[in-house]
């Protein structure tokens, strides 16, 4: 069953709402444990230029203001917000409402690149984990084969920030789908024209793959992305030089890959860490035997259970 079909059956107001309404107000929506060992072997990254208090995810919009506001109107508004979030979570089959990311950082963290890659002559940094202490992770969705409007609806109703990395050869049959995603706040980023392994191509061909997709996304969607991800995560110095020449500011990779039934982890501790980037794909039942909403449900349940919120990648990189 697809999550959207579950959604159309309407919202029950029984056990889940009764249990969770009080529990949510008490802050039961996820453990607030540490994000993982500081010694995790992520590629090195600089601390934020401006030191900033680590921010924890808030449960829901408005709840952070609870202490400042008094009176029955404020309480009623907060309860309505909780109810709306619970109903949306229930509609989409989530164990609990997703946590809301803290406000975006005032300044983007200063980035260093992975070991062995020199940041010279405008080469953008390659980033596996965003340098932040915020309890946020980032969901990135690649390629563009599956174009499921239920996925858009689910993300919109739950207020989930996403970052798409779009390859023209899959998107060109229906750029309208990605325009719709962009209109609802999803970042649209560059994943080349033809999704080739860039490492085996010469500089000029690589530059064509990247720069032409910048042009195409600007023409089709009205964005000229700051972020670019090479297909298969394969790149060399020419890739970074070419990307920099097309206006790319950062090259985000990933530490986890999400599937509808499991997560693949780069590191053995099998935990999310602040700033982790999660990869998934626009895929559907033909490959996964599950839908995009099924995938998003799995990711949100995992992320929330570990006390994290999804955040916008472009706010941090
Ligand atoms: Zn790809």
85 — phi, psi (to 5°)? Answer: -65, -40
6 — phi, psi (to 5°)? Answer: -60, -40
Three-state DSSP state, 111: coil
- Ligand 1 center to 71 CA (angstroms): 51
Cα Rg for the chain, rounded, in angstroms? Answer: 20
- Ligand 1 center to 275 CA (angstroms): 21
Contact 275, 132 (CB under 8 A): yes
Q: Return the number of other C-beta atoms located less than 10 Å from residue 189's C-beta.
A: 26
Look up residue 196 and give its two tokens: 């080739």
N-term to C-term CA, the chain: 37
127, β-bridge pairs = 252
- Ligand 1 center to 17 CA (angstroms): 39
pLDDT of residue 74: 86
- Ligand 1 center to 167 CA (angstroms): 7
pLDDT of residue 14: 33
Q: pLDDT 10s digit of each residue in the chain, 317 long?
A: 444 443 333 333 333 333 333 333 333 333 333 333 333 334 444 333 334 455 555 554 444 455 566 788 888 888 888 888 899 999 999 989 999 998 888 888 777 766 556 667 789 999 999 989 999 999 999 999 999 999 999 999 999 999 999 999 999 999 999 999 999 999 999 999 999 999 999 999 999 999 999 999 999 999 999 999 999 999 999 999 999 999 999 999 999 999 999 999 998 888 999 999 999 999 999 898 899 999 999 999 999 999 999 999 988 88
- Ligand 1 center to 253 CA (angstroms): 11
pLDDT of residue 68: 61
- Ligand 1 center to 295 CA (angstroms): 17
Look up residue 200 and give its two tokens: 């085996």
Cα(48)–Cα(259) distance, integer angstroms: 31
Contacts of 123 (CB under 8 A, 6+ apart): 113, 117, 237, 240, 241, 243, 244
pLDDT of residue 281: 97
Domain boundaries, the chain: 31-58+99-316
Contacts of 100 (CB under 8 A, 6+ apart): 57, 58, 59, 60, 61, 159, 309
Tokens 């159309």, residue? 8
- Ligand 1 center to 256 CA (angstroms): 14
Look up residue 121 and give its two tokens: 């002559």
- Ligand 1 center to 269 CA (angstroms): 26
pLDDT of residue 117: 61
- Ligand 1 center to 66 CA (angstroms): 43
To which CATH superfamily is domain 31-58+99-316 assigned?
Glycoside hydrolase/deacetylase (3.20.20.370)
- Ligand 1 center to 84 CA (angstroms): 35
DSSP-derived pairing of the beta strands 277-281 and 163-166: unpaired
- Ligand 1 center to 110 CA (angstroms): 26
- Ligand 1 center to 217 CA (angstroms): 16
- Ligand 1 center to 280 CA (angstroms): 9
HEC profile for 247-303? Answer: CCCEEECCCEEECCCCEEECCCCCCCCCCEEEEEECCCHHHHCCCHHHHHHHHHHHH
Cα(5)–Cα(267) distance, integer angstroms: 36
- Ligand 1 center to 49 CA (angstroms): 31
- Ligand 1 center to 206 CA (angstroms): 15
């Amino acid at each position: 069953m697809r999550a959207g079909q579950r959604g159309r059956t309407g919202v029950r107001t029984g056990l889940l709402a009764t249990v969770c309404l009080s529990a949510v107000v008490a802050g039961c929506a996820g453990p607030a444990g540490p994000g993982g060992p500081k010694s995790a072997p992520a590629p090195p990254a600089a601390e934020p230029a401006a030191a900033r208090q680590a921010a924890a995810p808030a449960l829901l919009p408005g709840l952070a203001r609870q202490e400042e506001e008094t009176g029955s109107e404020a309480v009623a508004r907060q309860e309505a917000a909780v109810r709306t979030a619970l109903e949306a979570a229930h509609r989409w089959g989530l164990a609990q409402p997703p946590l809301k990311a803290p406000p975006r950082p005032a300044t983007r963290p200063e980035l260093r690149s992975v070991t062995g890659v020199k940041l010279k002559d405008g080469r953008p940094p390659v980033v596996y984990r965003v340098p932040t202490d915020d309890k946020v992770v980032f969901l990135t969705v690649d390629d563009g084969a599956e174009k499921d409007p239920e996925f858009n609806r689910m993300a919109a109703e739950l207020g989930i920030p996403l970052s798409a990395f779009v390859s023209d050869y899959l998107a060109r049959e229906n750029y309208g789908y990605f325009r719709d995603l962009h209109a609802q706040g999803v970042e649209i980023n560059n994943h080349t024209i033809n999704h080739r392994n860039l490492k085996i191509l010469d500089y000029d061909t690589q530059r064509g793959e990247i720069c032409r997709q910048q042009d195409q996304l600007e023409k089709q969607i009205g964005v000229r992305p700051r972020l670019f991800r090479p297909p298969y995560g394969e790149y060399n110095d020419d890739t970074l030089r070419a990307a920099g020449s097309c206006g790319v500011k950062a090259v985000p990779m990933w530490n986890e890959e999400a599937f509808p039934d499991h997560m693949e982890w780069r590191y053995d501790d099998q935990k999310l860490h602040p700033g982790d980037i999660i990869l998934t794909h626009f895929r559907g039942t033909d490959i996964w035997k599950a839908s995009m909403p099924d995938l998003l449900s799995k990711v949100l349940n995992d992320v929330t259970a570990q006390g994290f919120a999804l955040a916008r990648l472009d706010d941090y990189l």
